[in-house]
Amino acid sequence: MKIGVIADDFTGASDIALTLAEAGMAVSQFIGVPEGAADAALDAGVVALKSRTAPVAEAIAQSLAACDWLLAQGCAQIIFKVCSTFDSTPEGNIGPVLDALADRLGAEGVITCPAFPENGRSVYMGHLFVGDVPLNESGMQNHPLTPMTDSDLRRVLAAQSSRPVGHVAALTVMAGAEAIRAALPREGHVIVDAIRDADLMEIGKAAKGAALLCGGSGIALGLPANFGHSPATPAWEPVKGPGVVLSGSCSRATRGQVARYKALAPHREISAAEAVKGEVTTEELADWVLAQEVPPLVYSSADPEVVKAAQEIFGKGVAAEAIEQLFSDLAATLAARGVARIVVAGGETSGAAVQGVQARALRIGMRLAAGVPAVRVEGDRPLAMALKSGNFGGPDFFSEALALLAGEA
């Protein structure tokens, strides 16, 4: 391997895996830290962790274990993949994990940039924007687990890190790779502006030889060329068979996608109370899903006010864990009973579903939407999945993804 990625959730892992695959690299996504050696033919490996909301010590331990495994596979460059909305509270783990990785790799002046212009994420003057609004006005301020109330990434990262946090401004980035490289500090971390894909390509050139980077999937756009790779279209073998949509994300985009798909297909909402109290069973839900002629929707994507009310009644962790466990068990049951296409919305929900079907590695396929590849679970049974971050995809993503997985679009 040449490039190794440590991703703090499952959808982010498949997102950056697609970026690397479309840049011409042979890529596999691993679920957790593998026990054995990887295929020597791989150019890049993405280790998907479920550490975004994990306690700091646990997130550090998992990330260092992933780093050590990737280094053992020969990786010359490590990327710490975080969400393009930099999901983390002041007590979060992005800073501590980045510090630990930098210490392990002896890295200084670590470039940090979660920009992904194609999906409306840009960094300007150190502030993260979603579309044309600051992060803290984008709806992310209402996230049930990682509310983002400050768009200034310098302040966000400095509140978590023991290292100094610098900044490379957009005008310097636009001057090109040499200017970026000259502006990088000799120590600590540095937020680098990016408002165009061209900026990320220059950042990639500037990062040639860097031991460590941090960012969203866009941070990988310019890196494969440093290793001699050229853009290519990942291959995909269609998967036919029954399908289902599982949605646990409460983002604005996903709630819109849920509303659109409800008009087309059977749907079943799962409330926090039902999940916590065990008022709905996995077998009952699986029977209902398999009885539908059109791939149905099972969702818990509620408005922020509903989520907040459930948290006040049951506790923040209790409600989330109960819903995740239900989705995990449901995915396992449906896969065992022949469902061959599973579209999942939400990072935590995707992690639960992937763990439920006991996937160990995912083969990266074609693009379903910006940042969302088709993935095939490696194993004996045909099982295709789409793992979507909350805010990704267009209004009709669910129906489009199901069709694309089956080769029908």
Highest mean pLDDT among 26-35, 129-138, 165-174, 355-364: 165-174
On the question of pLDDT at 144 being above 70, the answer is: no
Asked if CATH classification 3.20.20.70 holds for the domain at 3-227, the reply, yes or no, is: no
pLDDT at position 251 is: 85
Q: Which of 205, 210, 94 is nearest to 154 (CA)?
A: 94
Q: pLDDT, tens digit, for every residue of 208-226?
A: 999 999 999 999 999 999 9
Region 168-195: mean pLDDT is 98
Q: What is the mean pLDDT of the chain?
A: 92
Q: pLDDT, tens digit, for every residue of 257-275?
A: 999 999 999 999 998 888 8
In the chain, % of residues over pLDDT 70:
96
Q: pLDDT, tens digit, for every residue of 53-77?
A: 889 999 999 999 999 999 999 999 9
Q: Which of 30, 182, 6, 159 is nearest to 109 (CA)?
A: 182
Q: What's the pLDDT band for 405 if we cut at 50, 70, 90?
A: very high
Q: Any idea where the domains of the chain sit in the sequence?
A: 3-227, 243-405
Q: Domain 243-405: state its class.
A: alpha beta
pTM: 0.83
In angstroms, the CA 168 to CA 409 distance is 42
Chain center to CA of 118: 15
The DSSP annotation for 339-351 comes to --EEEEESHHHHH
In the chain, % of residues over pLDDT 90:
74
Q: pLDDT, tens digit, for every residue of 235-259?
A: 899 999 999 999 998 888 999 999 9
Region 381-385: mean pLDDT is 93
> What is residue 219's DSSP assignment?
G
pLDDT at position 89 is: 64
Contacts of 408 (CB under 8 A, 6+ apart): 238
Q: What's the pLDDT band for 316 if we cut at 50, 70, 90?
A: low
In angstroms, the CA 276 to CA 272 distance is 6
Name the amino acid, one letter, at 336. Answer: A
Given a contact cutoff of 8 angstroms between Cβ atoms, the answer to whether 156 and 88 are in contact is yes
